[in-house]
Amino acid sequence: MLIVDLDLSRPATIVSASAALATHRQSGAPFLFLLRDMSPRSQMQANALGAQAILPAETPPSALLDKVGAMLGLLRDSGPETVLQRRFVRASAAFAGLLEAAGSDGPLPVQAINDSVEAINRAADDGNLDTWLDMVWQHDDATYQHCLLVSGLVAAFARKLGFGESDRQLMTTAAVLHDVGKARIPLDILRKPGRLTPAERAVICQHPQIGHDMLVAQGGFAPAVLAAVLSHHEMLDGSGYPHGIGADRIPDPVRMITICDIYAALIERRSYKAPMSPEEAFATLIGMGDKLDRDLLRAFGNVVLSSSVARLGKMTARPAASAAAEDAA
């Protein structure tokens, strides 16, 4: 399909566009026109040039992506899966705005963050975590994939624990922002198709502090969100980073996000390793022993793998457990 953004108030532009679009019209490619002037005259000109759909140029990215998906046949008109797809598209679009702003040293877009939180929490209300995960795994960008995956898991976890709406919003906001510091990590490290060297790992381990400092500098973020961004790689036994704090300084919301973060890394499809099955990933979390909160881990099992909960405490540490935190970096 083609998305056309032209000033159709200028006759010369219309003539040029007609010639340029002729071949594509003959091929049957759908045209979506974005108009800066939604007057009847401009819409008539767009239709004459072959528009199948017309939107104002200032249409929000989420609505634009909805329309593109519908025109490509990716989104059906009705049904629960379509609703979930639309929520995923909105969340993904919001993440694009968030990471772009973070990477360019601009202020983080609070409305985009709120939009993504709302979309993810409503998706969790649908209770179809497997479908959400399937959509996430189709995303090309590893950072988007991880953030969307962790956020969906946290939203489902908070809902399962019976959190109220305001607490769910806080938890999901923390999850959405937990890796925002990665937007300022060099891309050759962030997207390296393999395991990191010690020097590269030292760089990427700076992302919690970077993200925390970004949020503090902007202001307006809740203490629970700041704590999650700074401490989601800390372990209860003091072996985590960036500050090696122990259990007495790690609140429950951070512990929840840490569990979701590690689990997400284990089931992700990375170029240098095959994804673990949900059962294998959950067993690996159990094998981490005193690094994670066992009561919360038991509850998390109810979210991702109910049959594994009965085995909690009966599983011994696995060789992969020592690498779990590294995978979650």
**DSSP labels, 89-104:** HHHHHHHHHHHHHHHT
Distance CA 20, CA 210 (A): 47
Distance CA 175, CA 93 (A): 16
Distance CA 102, CA 84 (A): 27
> What pTM value is reported for the model?
0.76
What CA–CA distances, in Å, run from 130 to 81, 126, 156, 314? 11, 11, 11, 26
pLDDT tens across the length of the chain (329 residues) = 889 998 888 888 888 888 888 777 766 678 899 998 888 778 878 877 888 888 999 998 878 887 887 777 655 555 667 777 777 777 877 787 788 788 888 899 898 899 889 989 998 888 778 888 877 876 656 777 889 899 999 999 999 999 999 999 999 999 999 999 998 998 888 878 778 899 999 999 999 999 999 999 999 999 999 999 999 999 999 999 999 999 999 999 999 999 999 999 999 877 667 889 889 999 999 999 999 999 999 999 999 986 444 444 444 444 444 555 565 67
Pairing status of strand 31-35 against strand 53-56: parallel
Residue 241 contacts residue 164 (beta carbons within 8 Å)? no
Burial of 212 (0-12, 13-18, 19+ CB in 10 A): buried
